């Protein structure tokens, strides 16, 4: 019994209750993994259960690996025989042995996402469906949702009422037929086919029911319908099923997770015992009190209240700013101050936000402040595909000598210019010593181009049209024109997946970045904008080591914990989103509130929530109220600081309404962006007629120098890119 001595009373009860169904409601930071591993040890050492009769399932390979290591550390004998695995890995092992019973060969292939896309493209081609209307990824997303609900092609077809649904049913049927022909399964099929096997072959099901007499499922709130059925079938004989989860942390509905699995556990297993783990070992009591108050506003939940023996701790810090710039500047400055004055390390901090697009301002501020950071669950804002694609268009308009940019967009969106044609154009460019774009302009003279000639001409005509408009269109107008005429966002909208929506949000953020640049620049030009972006994007990545601030979405933060957490963008319209507020579906709002609860409970020592009174969205300024989730925290738990704006606008929750936006809450003066000042040199080392070098544009001759009040404006004729005007302090020209 020494293994259980370190556990609290509820944890010990959960470990020792081994017979029959058990639901462990494990609040955030309550030590659920310790309970699971100690329970395995107790079954083996005290109840003399054979290790191979125990199955423990979790969701990720990382979680399974951690559980395996903990089991190995506390179980003296037979730990290696305990089946510790993910859902998908468990199903693969079962199917490798018995899938021939349902018509497949045992050496089936498992298709990854790219393989599935290739099959789907072939299916769409065979059915003569327009790929511009029927996107491969959108079709795969619909089919995946159906499989998560255990809806097979025949049932999907029976239930299809609308014409679009009937088309999806047709695609679904053909897609599955092609997979079976190829003796292949996609990821969703691994679970679907295992359930099919269990239902069709009672002998096989009985074998695994005997094998796994004691089953434990982690993160049960994240299970979908097919996973639930897999578990139900396995446990239906002995009913020694222990599920561990927290309905208050069910945040993956968009992936198919069904919160009803955990809320309705006792209906499926009426004899189930329920044990609540409410003692938290992570956070201060004030943080837990705030989390409790927020989540108590949800109706669809099992009542529980986190508490701790830790100290009371700091109040929740709430700060409201005029805009996103001030918000990012405050958070980055606060982190810097704590590192300087309180002995903190950068790895003690995390910034959490609702969407990846919100990271951009923080990235720029961190780079300016020389603070190391790392994005989790995403890439650097300027390294994301959709951002690189659109910047490549702007670079091509600005400087068609950039072969990399031109080659990136020659087929974005798809224009039917094949790899062989591109290869011939590249060869012509090399032979003639010209740029790739100039070679495209000479496509008439390139042998073998053939049917692609018209497509190349359409592309170059589009670029030439944009270049002719650069002189009188602003950068934002130019970018909007590119987005509209290429149909880039329309393609993503048609795809209608979670990833596509995230990409659209990032494009909206790029438009906001352009609008910010045009407002703050003394003279806004396309070249100036691209140079500003390049200076941010090209800074060396963080050195090796773990001491950096982490930035991530709230979804990515689940399962993690930090000493100091900042939750940014806490506004109605951002978090929760406008669609969630106005959509009329209370379950959507409750899921958003659970996401907020997850964010709050990531913090160990301090939690800071921030909002902006006005924020740039899609290049337009929007005015949002402080998030209702912030206003659900009692006033006595919140530190509003000395900021009068923050204190004045902290109030009880009220309904979202755009008509109220320009009211009293926004009576303060509009924020004026901080000017970026330069120190004017007393004189320049070069003069008109001198040859100079620029770090980006190369070698050129100085044509003119005009002395202004703030800086010298220098005009240079560069050999490679032509005439450019720039301020001397930024240009950093070197005389040759």
HEC profile of 8-55: CHHHHHHHHCCCCCEEEEECCCCCHHHHHHHHHHHHHHCCCCCHHHEE
pLDDT confidence of residue 656: 39
- Given 86, 223, 249, 308, which residue is catalytic? 249
249 is catalytic: yes
Judge: domain 9-98+192-279, CATH 3.40.50.1110: no
29 is in an annotated binding site: yes
**Local confidence band at 645 (pLDDT 50, 70, 90 cut-offs):** low
- Given 218, 248, 572, 591, which residue is catalytic? 218
pLDDT at 540 over 50: no
Nearest Cα neighbor of 81 from 56, 51, 58, 55 is 51
Neighbours of 111 (CB within 10 A): 18
Task: Please state which of the four CATH numbers 3.40.50.10540, 1.10.486.10, 3.30.70.260, 1.10.10.10 is assigned to the domain occupying 381-539.
Answer: 1.10.486.10
30 is in an annotated binding site: yes
28 is in an annotated binding site: yes
Least confident segment among 128-137, 214-223, 530-539: 530-539
31 is in an annotated binding site: yes
**Virtual torsion, Cα 611, 615, 617, 622, nearest 10 deg:** 110
Task: Please state which of the four CATH numbers 1.10.540.10, 1.10.10.160, 1.20.1260.10, 2.40.420.20 is assigned to the domain occupying 109-182.
Answer: 1.10.10.160
Between CA 608 and CA 615, with CA 611 as vertex, the angle to 5 degrees is 150
pLDDT in tens, 421-474: 998 998 998 888 888 899 999 988 898 888 889 999 999 999 999 999 888 889
148-to-187, 223, 225, 592 alpha-carbon distances in Å: 11, 10, 6, 22
Extract long-range pairs of 427-430: CB within 8 Å, 24+ residues apart. 429/403
- Given 360, 384, 602, 631, which residue is catalytic? 602
What DSSP line would sit under 356-413, residue for residue?
A: GGGHHHHHHHHHHHT--EEESSS--GGGSHHHHHHHHHHHHHH-TT-HHHHHHHTTSS
**Local confidence band at 74 (pLDDT 50, 70, 90 cut-offs):** confident
**Local confidence band at 663 (pLDDT 50, 70, 90 cut-offs):** very low
> Could you tell me the residue ranges of all domains in the chain?
9-98+192-279, 109-182, 316-376+542-639, 381-539, 690-735
Asked if 362 contacts 331 with a C-beta cutoff of 8 angstroms, the reply is yes
Contacts of 552 (CB under 8 A, 6+ apart): 350, 351, 352, 353, 375, 376, 377, 378
Rounded Cα distance, 693 and 733, in Å: 6
715 is catalytic: no
12 is catalytic: no
pLDDT in tens, 667-704: 333 333 333 445 567 778 888 888 888 876 778 888 88
218 is catalytic: yes
Share of the chain above pLDDT 90, in %: 56
Least confident segment among 44-58, 63-77, 439-453, 499-513: 63-77
355 is catalytic: no
Asked if 172 contacts 200 with a C-beta cutoff of 8 angstroms, the reply is no
313 is in an annotated binding site: no
**Local confidence band at 707 (pLDDT 50, 70, 90 cut-offs):** confident
33 is catalytic: yes
- Given 136, 188, 219, 532, which residue is catalytic? 219
Sign of the Cα torsion 657, 661, 664, 666 reads positive
- Given 12, 13, 18, 33, which residue is catalytic? 33
260 is in an annotated binding site: no
Sign of the Cα torsion 111, 557, 617, 330 reads negative
Q: Do domains 109-182 and 316-376+542-639 have the same CATH topology?
A: no
Rounded Cα distance, 704 and 615, in Å: 40
**Virtual torsion, Cα 728, 732, 735, 736, nearest 10 deg:** -140
pLDDT at 553 over 90: yes
CATH topology of domain 316-376+542-639: Rossmann fold (3.40.50)
Terminus-to-terminus CA distance in the chain, angstroms?
Answer: 81
Rounded Cα distance, 577 and 569, in Å: 11
């Amino acid at each position: 019994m020494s293994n259980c001595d370190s556990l609290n009373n509820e944890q010990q009860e959960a470990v020792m209750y081994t017979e029959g169904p058990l639901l462990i409601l494990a609040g955030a930071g309550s030590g659920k993994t310790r309970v699971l591993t100690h329970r395995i040890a107790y079954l083996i050492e005290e109840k003399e259960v054979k290790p191979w009769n125990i199955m423990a399932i979790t969701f990720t390979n990382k979680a399974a690996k951690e559980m395996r290591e903990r089991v190995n550390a506390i179980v003296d004998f037979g730990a290696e025989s305990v089946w510790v695995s993910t859902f998908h890995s468990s199903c693969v092992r079962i199917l490798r042995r018995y899938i021939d019973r349902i018509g497949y060969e045992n050496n089936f292939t498992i298709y990854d996402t790219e393989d599935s896309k290739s099959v789907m493209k072939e299916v769409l081609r065979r059915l003569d469906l327009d790929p511009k209307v029927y996107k491969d990824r959108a079709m795969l997303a619909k089919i995946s949702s159906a499989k998560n609900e255990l809806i097979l092609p025949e049932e999907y077809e029976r239930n299809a009422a609308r014409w679009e649904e009937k088309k999806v049913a047709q695609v679904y049927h053909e897609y599955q037929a092609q997979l079976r022909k190829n003796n292949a399964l996609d990821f969703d099929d691994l679970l679907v086919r295992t359930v099919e096997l269990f239902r069709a072959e009672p002998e096989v099901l009985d074998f695994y029911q005997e094998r796994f007499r004691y089953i434990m499922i982690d993160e049960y709130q994240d299970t979908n319908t097919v996973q639930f059925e897999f578990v139900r079938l396995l446990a239906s004989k002995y009913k020694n099923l222990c599920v561990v989860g927290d309905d208050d942390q069910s945040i993956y509905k968009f992936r198919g997770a069904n919160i009803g699995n955990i809320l309705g556990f006792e209906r499926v297993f009426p004899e189930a015992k329920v044990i609540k783990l409410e003692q938290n070992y992570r956070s201060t009591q004030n943080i837990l009190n705030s989390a409790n108050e927020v989540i108590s506003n949800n109706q669809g939940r099992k009542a529980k209240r986190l508490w701790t023996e830790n100290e009371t701790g700091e109040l929740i810090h709430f700060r409201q700013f005029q805009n996103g710039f001030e918000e990012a500047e405050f958070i980055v400055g606060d982190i810097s101050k704590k590192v300087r004055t309180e002995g903190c390390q950068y790895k003690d901090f995390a910034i959490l936000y609702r969407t990846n697009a919100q990271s951009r301002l923080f990235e720029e501020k961190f780079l300016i402040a020389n603070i190391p950071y790392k994005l989790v669950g995403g890439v650097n804002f300027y390294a994301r595909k959709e951002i690189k694609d659109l910047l490549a268009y702007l670079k091509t308009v600005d400087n068609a000598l950039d072969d990399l940019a031109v080659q990136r967009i020659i087929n974005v969106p798809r224009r039917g210019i094949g790899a062989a044609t591109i290869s011939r154009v590249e060869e012509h460019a090399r032979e003639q010593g010209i740029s790739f774009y100039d070679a495209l302009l000479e496509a008439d003279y390139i042998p073998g181009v053939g049917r692609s000639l018209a497509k190349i001409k359409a592309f170059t005509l589009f670029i030439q049209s944009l270049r002719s408009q650069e002189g009188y269109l602003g950068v934002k107008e130019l970018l909007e024109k590119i987005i509209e005429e290429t149909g880039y966002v329309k393609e993503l909208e048609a795809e209608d997946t979670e990833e596509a929506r995230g990409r659209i949000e990032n494009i909206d953020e790029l438009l906001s970045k352009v609008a910010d640049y045009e407002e703050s620049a003394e003279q806004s030009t396309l070249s100036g904008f691209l140079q500003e972006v390049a200076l941010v994007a090209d800074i060396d990545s963080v050195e090796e080591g773990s001491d950096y601030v982490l930035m991530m979405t709230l979804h990515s933060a689940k399962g993690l914990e930090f000493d100091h957490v900042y939750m940014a963008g806490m506004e109605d319209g951002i978090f929760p989103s406008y669609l969630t507020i106005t959509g009329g579906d209370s379950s959507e709002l409750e899921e958003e509130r659970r996401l907020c609860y997850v964010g709050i409970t990531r913090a160990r020592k301090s939690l800071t929530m921030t909002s902006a009174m006005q924020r740039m969205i899609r290049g337009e300024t929007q005015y949002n109220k402080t998030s209702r989730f912030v206003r659900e925290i009692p006033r006595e738990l919140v530190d509003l600081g000395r900021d009068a704006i923050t204190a004045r606008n902290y109030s009880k929750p009220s309904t979202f309404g755009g008509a109220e936006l320009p009211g009293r809450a926004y009576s303060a003066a509009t924020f004026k962006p901080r000017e970026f000042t330069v120190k004017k040199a007393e004189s320049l080392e070069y003069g008109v007629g001198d040859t100079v070098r620029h770090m980006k544009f190369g070698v050129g001759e100085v044509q003119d120098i005009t002395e202004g009040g703030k800086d010298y404006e220098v005009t240079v004729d560069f050999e490679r890119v032509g005439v450019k005007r720039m301020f001397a302090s930024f240009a950093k020209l070197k005389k040759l």
